[in-house]
Chain A
Amino acid sequence: MRGASVRYVLSVLSVLFLCAAAAELTFSADADRTTVGLGEQFQLTVTVEGTNIGGAPRPQVPTMTDFDQLGSTSSQSTNISFVNGRMTQQNNISFIYFLSPKRVGSLTVPPFKLNFKGTTYETQPITITATKESQAPPPARQQPQSPFGFPGLPGRSQPRSSGRANVLLTATADRTSVYQGEQVTATFVLYTQAQIGDLGIKDMPGFTGTWTEQLFDAKQLNWRNTTYNGQRYSAATLKQVALFPTQSGQVKVDKMTVSGQVVIDDGWFGSAQPFEVSSDPITINVKPLPEAGKPADFTGGVGDFKVTAAMSGDSSIGGEPLTLTVKVAGTGNIGLVGEPQLVPISGVKVLSPETKQTTRTSDGRVGGERTFNYPLIPTADGKFVIPEIEMGFFNPRTGSYYTQTTPRFEFVATGATGRTPLAEAGTGVKTLGTDIVHIKPGFGLVAPFANRHSPVGKLVWFFYPAGIVVLGVGLLMGRHRRRLEQDRGYARRSRSSRLVKKGLAEATHLLAQGNEREFYAALNRAVVRYVGDRFNLETSGMTGDQIQSELSRLSVAPDTISNLLDLIASCDAARFSPGMARCTPRETLEKARMVLEKL
């Protein structure tokens, strides 16, 4: 309405600038019927009309004890005309109240009040007769059709306006609070008191957030006489749509704008003036569908529906597909009914359905049929059962859900096996939920080495130093072996200590037997051989002097050499002249040990 308010501001400014006449205002109330059945509703239209009224306030609604106020809407129209260079702005604001009598009898609608520029205006009280019987509104008399059609020049029957032309465009919704998916009918009506022509629709209203079905779209104007806001008008319905909100919250029906020429009768010749009128946007409160009691198989249908189903046959040969047809018919948001869910059938492949829809309107209610054709392809032989299909719907009148069920079907398939691998068929298993695997009953201790902190676990790390030690030993032993093979001196040397020990042991043994002569011989042999092995000399047959010179050459301590020679000499002496021994055999043995150790 920004354009409208800008227009008001502009007009107010120009009014001030031109020192135009003071605003004059009429305030009236009018009921569309004076006799109403109990529980029926009638329209009370309160009209604020005047020249150069800017923002007129809303009238004060009196307390009405005898009536229920069911709702209200408002519409506004403005005419700006320039007559002899002077601008006149004609405002017409209508507040429409939908009322319903509470009791039978002669009831009075109290006066509405309006304060405007210090003056209080009051409407006249209206008397309504409420009866028990239903009082259907009298059908609007159809005017003969305009010979020129629509859009075009006005029909002859339209009254010619005298002076002040009044053109209104109203948008009304049959209800402003609905459930999601419930039908709301929006009607756009053009009212005029003057002849109009060149009519064109400038702005078509948009209906976002709804599924829309056209109920009526004027190809030509059918004028009828009617009273609106207490004044006589010619009225023509331009458009009527059924809206089905697809979301909860607020749905807005945008304004509709119509422009054309109005014929002003000011004297002998009529003059044509352009006009443009817009309807007020309508806001519809959309309640979400209740969660309580919502069936699992609810597919979005809101209204009164019946579900039927049929099979194209009861047998399939050679995997030939059958068709399952599910038909939803009735009144409501038929275009928003989703496909029903078929349970997987083992051995039958169900393809996604082909959907067809036809829409019908009767008595302003939208309805129709929506058909779902499911191709069923048997993948195995046998008798198959198609279980009942349940579809949930919502009934906005009762505010509750209901379910429709199709019958169960059976068919027999032959020769289907082998056409399609069986693996493609559904398993028939229905997953309901998942959870963790249950606790284990058996208590299995891990192997001791698996516990890093146990002594056995730590043992793992000993393999590495142990391996290195083993390798080191191997290296040393390998070197020893190679030297034994290659270096004779080394071999003799490494053998010598073992041999001398053996020699000494033998000598000790002989001594224990009391064989002194042999003892000295064995001791002598052991000592001489040891010296040979130790220094890699050929000692057998060497004289004492030779030994002395060889050892001196090998830089053995002279002290040790003399001791050794002394020992050999004493052994020889004891062997060959037993009585000449300088010391006992045991002393000799000790001496031999000492000398050998020195070496």
Chain B
Amino acid sequence: MRRRVAQWSSGPVVKGLAIFTFASCILQFAVASASPADLFNRGNAAYEAGNYQQAVVLYDSAISGATSAELFFNRGNAYFKLGEVGRAIADYNRAFVLKPHDKDISYNLAYARQYRPDKSLTIDNPLVRMFTAFLRILDVATARLLAGLFFFLALGSLALLLIRGERLFGWTAIVLGVLFLCCFISAASWGEVTSAARAVVVQPELTLRSGPGPDYKEIAVVHDGLEVLVREERPGYVLIQIPGGDGGWVESSSVERIFTR
């Protein structure tokens, strides 16, 4: 059955936060010395028992000690079940970058995006989408590694050609150079996705203002789960750009950056 996700009334949210804080205090002691894999399994158990808040805390501790697509995916699920669409979208994005070919991650990301009150109006050009999918056959880490490796090997071949003067090294250098370019373009195509400027609105409703302060003029209202770009940072405030180009200042805590620098 389709679960009703959004609970915007303040009562349950406040109560939920209180329980959440309490639970995290208790769990802080328990999780201090466990391995990430252990925490992951305990998080899964909590999730399956329906204790999504506890699951989030356990996954949090595991994430601080390890990088894993499954960890982000599962934490995203727990956030989604708690009605925090924004945080779920952020986690699914993180998982997607680590494992771009995992169908489950893409599905849940798309599913969570449907739950946003602010619908995206941009429709991708299918040709562009196909081309991008081709460029992103490699995941970002592999593309980066291979680009570096091929660069090194291509220049090494070139060096050997200069030293030994054998034509074979010349051809090798050309092939390696082409491979380097492919990987480099692939890695560059990921730049947009892995940009550190990307962030997600994690507040049910958020008012954009014309300046970094509570007294500036209100410009727009956006909702939980909207993916935005952080354009400028001031103490306590950030300037975000919403899809469509408009932007405004909001409190830093109301958006969550997807990727750290």
Instruction: Spell out A's residues near B (CB within 8 Å).
Output: 432-447, 449-454, 457, 460-464, 466-468, 470-471, 473-475, 477-478, 481
The reply on B175 being an interface residue by CB < 8 A is no
Instruction: Spell out B's residues near A (CB within 8 Å).
Output: 1-3, 36-37, 40-41, 44, 47-48, 66-71, 73-74, 77-78, 80, 98, 104, 107-108, 111-112, 139, 141-142, 144-145, 148-149, 151-156, 158-163, 165, 260
Q: Which of A432, A444, A449 contacts B68 (CB 8 A)?
A: A444
Within the complex, the shortest CB–CB distance from B204 to chain A, in Å, comes to: 20
- CB-CB nearest in chain A for B260: A453
Q: Which of A443, A449, A481 contacts B40 (CB 8 A)?
A: A443
Given contacts A444-B68, A446-B68, A436 and B165 within 8 Å (CB-CB): no
Instruction: State whether B162 touches A467 (Cβ < 8 A).
Output: no
Instruction: State whether B67 touches A450 (Cβ < 8 A).
Output: yes
Q: Which of B2, B44, B80, B148 contacts A460 (CB 8 A)?
A: B148
Instruction: State whether A473 touches B159 (Cβ < 8 A).
Output: yes
Q: Which residues of chain A have C-beta atoms less than 8 A from B68's C-beta?
A: 443-446
Instruction: State whether A474 touches B160 (Cβ < 8 A).
Output: yes
Instruction: State whether A467 touches B112 (Cβ < 8 A).
Output: no
A449 CA to B153 CA in the complex, in Å?
Answer: 18
Instruction: State whether A474 touches B158 (Cβ < 8 A).
Output: yes
Given contacts A434-B2, A463-B152, A470-B156, A445 and B67 within 8 Å (CB-CB): yes
The B contact surface, by secondary structure, is helix
Q: Which residues of chain A have C-beta atoms less than 8 A from B111's C-beta?
A: 434-437
Instruction: State whether B98 touches A463 (Cβ < 8 A).
Output: no
Of A450, A475, A478, chain B has the most CB atoms within 10 Å of the CB of A450
Instruction: State whether B151 touches A464 (Cβ < 8 A).
Output: yes
Q: Which residues of chain B have C-beta atoms less than 8 A from A435's C-beta?
A: 1-3, 111
Q: Which residues of chain B have C-beta atoms less than 8 A from A466's C-beta?
A: 152
Within the complex, the shortest CB–CB distance from A464 to chain B, in Å, comes to: 6
Q: Which residues of chain B have C-beta atoms less than 8 A from A460's C-beta?
A: 144-145, 148
Instruction: State whether A438 touches B36 (Cβ < 8 A).
Output: no
Given contacts A439-B77, A460-B145, A467-B156, A478 and B162 within 8 Å (CB-CB): yes
Instruction: State whether A446 touches B67 (Cβ < 8 A).
Output: yes
Instruction: State whether A443 touches B158 (Cβ < 8 A).
Output: no
Q: Which residues of chain B have C-beta atoms less than 8 A from A445's C-beta?
A: 36, 66-68
- CB-CB nearest in chain B for A478: B162
Instruction: State whether A443 touches B36 (Cβ < 8 A).
Output: yes
A252 CA to B47 CA in the complex, in Å?
Answer: 57
A481 CA to B165 CA in the complex, in Å?
Answer: 10
Instruction: State whether A471 touches B1 (Cβ < 8 A).
Output: no
A463 CA to B156 CA in the complex, in Å?
Answer: 11
Within the complex, the shortest CB–CB distance from B47 to chain A, in Å, comes to: 5
A453 CA to B163 CA in the complex, in Å?
Answer: 37
Q: Which of B67, B139, B148, B163 contacts A463 (CB 8 A)?
A: B148
A–B complex contacts, Cβ < 8 Å, 19 sampled: A432-B1, A434-B2, A436-B112, A439-B48, A439-B77, A440-B73, A443-B36, A443-B40, A445-B68, A446-B69, A450-B98, A463-B148, A467-B156, A470-B152, A470-B156, A471-B155, A474-B159, A474-B160, A477-B163
Q: Which residues of chain B have C-beta atoms less than 8 A from A452's C-beta?
A: 141
Instruction: State whether A444 touches B69 (Cβ < 8 A).
Output: yes
- CB-CB nearest in chain A for B97: A450
Given contacts A463-B152, A467-B152, A439 and B162 within 8 Å (CB-CB): no
Q: Which residues of chain A have C-beta atoms less than 8 A from B37's C-beta?
A: 443
Within the complex, the shortest CB–CB distance from B260 to chain A, in Å, comes to: 8
Instruction: State whether A478 touches B163 (Cβ < 8 A).
Output: yes
Q: Which residues of chain B have C-beta atoms less than 8 A from A449's C-beta?
A: 141, 145
Instruction: State whether A474 touches B163 (Cβ < 8 A).
Output: yes
Q: Which of B36, B66, B74 contacts A440 (CB 8 A)?
A: B74
A433 CA to B112 CA in the complex, in Å?
Answer: 15
- Which 4 interchain pairs have the tightest Cβ spacing? A474-B159, A463-B148, A478-B162, A450-B141
Instruction: State whether B107 touches A467 (Cβ < 8 A).
Output: no
**Known pairs A435-B3, A443-B40 / 5 extra A-B pairs, C-beta < 8 Å:** A439-B73, A446-B69, A452-B141, A471-B156, A471-B159
Instruction: State whether A437 touches B163 (Cβ < 8 A).
Output: no
Q: Which of A438, A457, A477 contacts B77 (CB 8 A)?
A: A438
Q: Which residues of chain A have C-beta atoms less than 8 A from B141's C-beta?
A: 446-447, 449-452, 457
A434 CA to B163 CA in the complex, in Å?
Answer: 64
A87 CA to B1 CA in the complex, in Å?
Answer: 76
Within the complex, the shortest CB–CB distance from A457 to chain B, in Å, comes to: 7
Instruction: State whether A470 touches B69 (Cβ < 8 A).
Output: no
A172 CA to B71 CA in the complex, in Å?
Answer: 72
Within the complex, the shortest CB–CB distance from A482 to chain B, in Å, comes to: 9
Of B1, B111, B163, chain A has the most CB atoms within 10 Å of the CB of B163
- CB-CB nearest in chain A for B44: A439
Q: Which residues of chain B have C-beta atoms less than 8 A from A450's C-beta?
A: 67, 98, 139, 141-142
Q: Which residues of chain A have C-beta atoms less than 8 A from B41's C-beta?
A: 443
Q: Which residues of chain B have C-beta atoms less than 8 A from A470's C-beta?
A: 152, 155-156, 159
- CB-CB nearest in chain A for B43: A439
Q: Which residues of chain B have C-beta atoms less than 8 A from A441's C-beta?
A: 44
- CB-CB nearest in chain B for A442: B70
A381 CA to B85 CA in the complex, in Å?
Answer: 48
Q: Which residues of chain B have C-beta atoms less than 8 A from A474's C-beta?
A: 155-156, 158-163
- CB-CB nearest in chain B for A471: B155
